[in-house]
Chains A and B, each alone.
Chain A
Amino acid sequence: MLQTIKLTKKYGDVIAVNNLDLQINQGEIYCLLGPNGAGKTTTVNLFMGFVAPTDGKVLINGMDVALNARETKQHISYIPENLALYPNLTGFENLEFFAGLSNGRLADADLKILLREAGLQQSAFDQRVSGYSKGMRQKVGVAIALAKDSKALILDEPTSGLDPQASNEFARLLEILSDKGVAILMTTHDLFRARETGTRIGIMSDGVLRREFNAKDVKHNELEQVYLEQVLQNVQEA
């Protein structure tokens, strides 16, 4: 569903993503771990078509993002680290607007069901987003993704800054989506969350995918050790 083939992105002399081969199938939650500057967000931006690759390909549902920018977006939802919503609109209105952009008109009752599924409290539906916490905004983001009914979901550090309870709720939502067959790519710093939620885990540094694990097969200590080695290597190289 989500695939990169020899994907490279350079900013001047800096190689942000180097020869990345990635394959995420339907129903998989792929957690991409890596220190700051590892190339995680650039990978997300390449999937979203926000930046163009220097070399290689990004495929969504078999379509090249560079050649079919708008078509590929029909199949993909996106939740960034700080989900940006319109502060003067309510959570419901934000959902209505974004759902309308991608999926035509949904009935109000259906939109409310989506917000409920995403875990947003009923009382917050008609409150302006300017008064929402980050967790509440992320839930609206999930509702938007649910409304889009897309085959893939890309999340850029979505749990950073969330309290443990909100983070748990968020993980539960991802599992629901995964059960529905959605392919999920999530970048994160949170090793614990990656192992708990992900089906596969990749560790990236300096734009290179260093290691991949099946989440079930790797122990937390092992994952932590590999991750720290990569971070340390980064620091030493710097």
Chain B
Amino acid sequence: MSLNRFTWSRFFKMCRRLEMVRRIAEKEWKEQLREKRYLAAGILMGLLFITALISSKAYYENEQHLRLHAQQGIEENWLNQRDKNPHGAAHYGIYLFKPESRLALIDRGVNRYAGTAFFVEGHVRNEAQFRKIEDETGLVRFGELTPAYILITLMPLFIILIGFNAFTKEREGGTWRMLQSHNVSMRKVLIGKWAGVAFTVLMLFIPMFIVMGLIIYSVSGFGEFSLTHYMILGAVYTLYYLIFINLTLIVSWFSKHSGTAFITLLAIWITATLVVPKLFVSAAQYFHPLPDTNTVTEMYREARAGGIDGHNPASARELERKVMEEHGVDRLEDLPFNFAGYRLQVGEEYDTKAYNYVFAHIRSAISGQDILIRKGSVLSPFLPVRNLSMGLAYTDVENHWDFSEAVERYRQDFVLYLNEDLMYSSRTGETYLAGSDVWAAKPDFSYELPGMGEVFRAQTGNLFILIGWVAFSFLALLTIRPTSGEG
């Protein structure tokens, strides 16, 4: 009985505490709602967001249309190509397009820069093409208006705008003294303010997020929509906003004047969203430079040196001798396969080895850059969120590489298939002509976007850093002592 009374008494006390916090939060929210500049900023954010969303939707619908058109044309061209030597068909090549998640509408990531289409052909591992950035003017350097840009870059600015004077306005306006004259703990005022700002932010973000989800869901014929990914993306953005809400309130608490608080927070925003990312990207490029085209060509030539050239019989005399010896024949014509096809395949394997060497070097440089940039995440929560956002939207560098590797594996199968057709459908030389049945039976390319587990494995570091930022900002908020805010 006494335990029950004790429990109820604690429960009511807690309810009363929460009621107090609710009152403060409600007051805060009412004030913000009635402040015209906040309302104007909120409406502006909403309009920008809708514009970004519509433009992103139009962009992807257009891209999807072009892609479908191109895919159909490429498939038809491949199937309807004239009879020709299979290795010639390998040079004729095909295009493969990177499948996309519908979340790419939110965050285009590196797609516009890295490209989404790969030309698959014999001997050469091509980098991606169809880079939209190449078709655009220099104005794109000022940044694209995408939903991710609004949500990651501009939203913190909105948080700063509504929260920078959360405490300073009370001190400047004299209401701080009024609050102090009441029997209310300053900790509750702090929590109430936090809840008020957080509520305003969520009241803007949640409708935006729902509208965005509905629009993405309604886009037809484009990628897959994973609700789990979408909700996780929403959670990542929310955690990010919590960091900025906390930082904003901390600065407001310790600032004497609203102007000082605003300038300080603006400096933090510029540092977090512009300075640190650019600084670390520049440092990454400096310490882990990517080889330029000439260097890549030179590296390839060095790695390829001494290898067999599939198109040059003179370079394969030793191979001829070995193969004939293995099969116990004196003439190439007596081999159970067309040696020309075999030579082309061996040459292809030399090419692959050389490209593997070159791409391993490039990949290593990119990994080095990634590690260095990740270190920058300790100085700015913008970086882990940017990476997580791209990762969940499958538009990050990691995903680009994953697809690039899948394309390369397919390229090897594709060329092997054609070279083997030459080897086993003819006896000698390269005069054999394959037909439509060969083209129709080429290996199918299939690629599935990595599952959630793989995405999380790739993003573990970013996720931990983001959670670290959230924890750090809450700890910093907790260090505020009621007496330190006396005005």
Which of B174, B175, B181, B185 has a CB less than 8 Å from the CB of A76? B181
- B182–A101 contact, CB under 8 A? yes
The answer to the question of B144 belonging to the interface, with a C-beta cut-off of 8 Å to chain A, is no
The answer to the question of B141 belonging to the interface, with a C-beta cut-off of 8 Å to chain A, is no
- A82–B181 contact, CB under 8 A? no
CB-CB under 8 A for A84 and B174, given A50-B180, A73-B183, A101-B183: yes
- Chain A 185-221 interface 0/1 with B at a Cβ cutoff of 8 Å (1 = within): 0000000000000000000000000000000000000
Which of A70, A84, A100 has a CB less than 8 Å from the CB of B177? A84
- A70–B183 contact, CB under 8 A? yes
- A101–B20 contact, CB under 8 A? yes
> How long is the Cα–Cα vector from A188 to B182 in the complex, in angstroms?
23
The answer to the question of A97 belonging to the interface, with a C-beta cut-off of 8 Å to chain B, is yes
The answer to the question of B34 belonging to the interface, with a C-beta cut-off of 8 Å to chain A, is yes
> How long is the Cα–Cα vector from A86 to B174 in the complex, in angstroms?
9
The answer to the question of A24 belonging to the interface, with a C-beta cut-off of 8 Å to chain B, is no
Which of B24, B27, B180, B185 has a CB less than 8 Å from the CB of A48? B180
Chain A residues contacting B181 (CB-CB under 8 Å) are: 48, 73, 76-78
Name the distance in Å between B176's Cβ and chain A's nearest Cβ: 8
Which of B31, B174, B177, B178 has a CB less than 8 Å from the CB of A98? B178
Looking at chain B's contact residues, the main secondary structure is helix
Name the distance in Å between B162's Cβ and chain A's nearest Cβ: 13
Closest to A72 in B: B183
- A101–B23 contact, CB under 8 A? yes
**A58-85, CB < 8 A from B:** 70-71, 73-74, 76-78, 80, 82-85
Chain B residues contacting A78 (CB-CB under 8 Å) are: 177-178, 181
Name the distance in Å between A208's Cβ and chain B's nearest Cβ: 26
> How long is the Cα–Cα vector from A70 to B188 in the complex, in angstroms?
13
- B182–A86 contact, CB under 8 A? no
Which of A73, A77, A85, A97 has a CB less than 8 Å from the CB of B23? A97
- B30–A89 contact, CB under 8 A? yes
- B182–A98 contact, CB under 8 A? yes
Chain A residues contacting B20 (CB-CB under 8 Å) are: 100-101
- A102–B183 contact, CB under 8 A? yes
Name the distance in Å between B391's Cβ and chain A's nearest Cβ: 42
Closest to B16 in A: A104
- B27–A89 contact, CB under 8 A? yes
The answer to the question of B134 belonging to the interface, with a C-beta cut-off of 8 Å to chain A, is no
- Chain A 140-184 interface 0/1 with B at a Cβ cutoff of 8 Å (1 = within): 000000001000000000000000000000000000000000000
Chain B residues contacting A97 (CB-CB under 8 Å) are: 23, 27
Name the distance in Å between A150's Cβ and chain B's nearest Cβ: 10
Chain A residues contacting B178 (CB-CB under 8 Å) are: 78, 80, 83-85, 98
- B182–A87 contact, CB under 8 A? no
The answer to the question of A21 belonging to the interface, with a C-beta cut-off of 8 Å to chain B, is no
The answer to the question of B184 belonging to the interface, with a C-beta cut-off of 8 Å to chain A, is yes
Closest to B188 in A: A101
Instruction: Give the total of B residues in contact with A, Cβ under 8 Å.
Output: 23
The answer to the question of B402 belonging to the interface, with a C-beta cut-off of 8 Å to chain A, is no
> How long is the Cα–Cα vector from A67 to B35 in the complex, in angstroms?
39
Chain A residues contacting B24 (CB-CB under 8 Å) are: 101
The answer to the question of B179 belonging to the interface, with a C-beta cut-off of 8 Å to chain A, is yes
Chain B residues contacting A86 (CB-CB under 8 Å) are: 27, 31, 173, 175
Chain B residues contacting A93 (CB-CB under 8 Å) are: 27, 30
Name the distance in Å between A78's Cβ and chain B's nearest Cβ: 4
- Chain A 110-149 interface 0/1 with B at a Cβ cutoff of 8 Å (1 = within): 0000000000000000001000000000000000000010
The answer to the question of B486 belonging to the interface, with a C-beta cut-off of 8 Å to chain A, is yes
**B176-209, CB < 8 A from A:** 177-185
- B31–A88 contact, CB under 8 A? yes
CB-CB under 8 A for A80 and B174, given A89-B27, A100-B23: yes
- A50–B185 contact, CB under 8 A? no
Chain A residues contacting B175 (CB-CB under 8 Å) are: 84-86
Chain B residues contacting A105 (CB-CB under 8 Å) are: 19
Name the distance in Å between A103's Cβ and chain B's nearest Cβ: 9
Chain A residues contacting B34 (CB-CB under 8 Å) are: 88-89, 128
Chain A residues contacting B35 (CB-CB under 8 Å) are: 88
> How long is the Cα–Cα vector from A232 to B306 in the complex, in angstroms?
109
Closest to B174 in A: A84
> How long is the Cα–Cα vector from A88 to B184 in the complex, in angstroms?
22
- A50–B30 contact, CB under 8 A? no
- A50–B177 contact, CB under 8 A? yes
Most buried by B among A77, A93, A98: A98
- B177–A80 contact, CB under 8 A? yes
> How long is the Cα–Cα vector from A73 to B31 in the complex, in angstroms?
26
Chain A residues contacting B31 (CB-CB under 8 Å) are: 86, 88-89
CB-CB under 8 A for A82 and B183, given A97-B23, A97-B27, A101-B23: no
Name the distance in Å between A190's Cβ and chain B's nearest Cβ: 21
13 CB-based A-B contacts, threshold 8 Å: A48-B181, A50-B177, A50-B180, A70-B183, A73-B182, A78-B181, A82-B174, A84-B173, A85-B175, A85-B178, A86-B173, A97-B23, A98-B182
Q: Which 4 A-B pairs have the closest CB atoms?
A: A84-B174, A78-B181, A88-B34, A101-B182
Q: In the complex, given contacts A78-B177, A100-B20, what are 15 additional A-B residue pairs having Cβ atoms less than 8 angstroms apart?
A: A50-B180, A77-B181, A78-B181, A80-B174, A80-B177, A84-B173, A84-B174, A86-B27, A86-B31, A97-B23, A98-B178, A101-B20, A101-B23, A102-B184, A104-B19
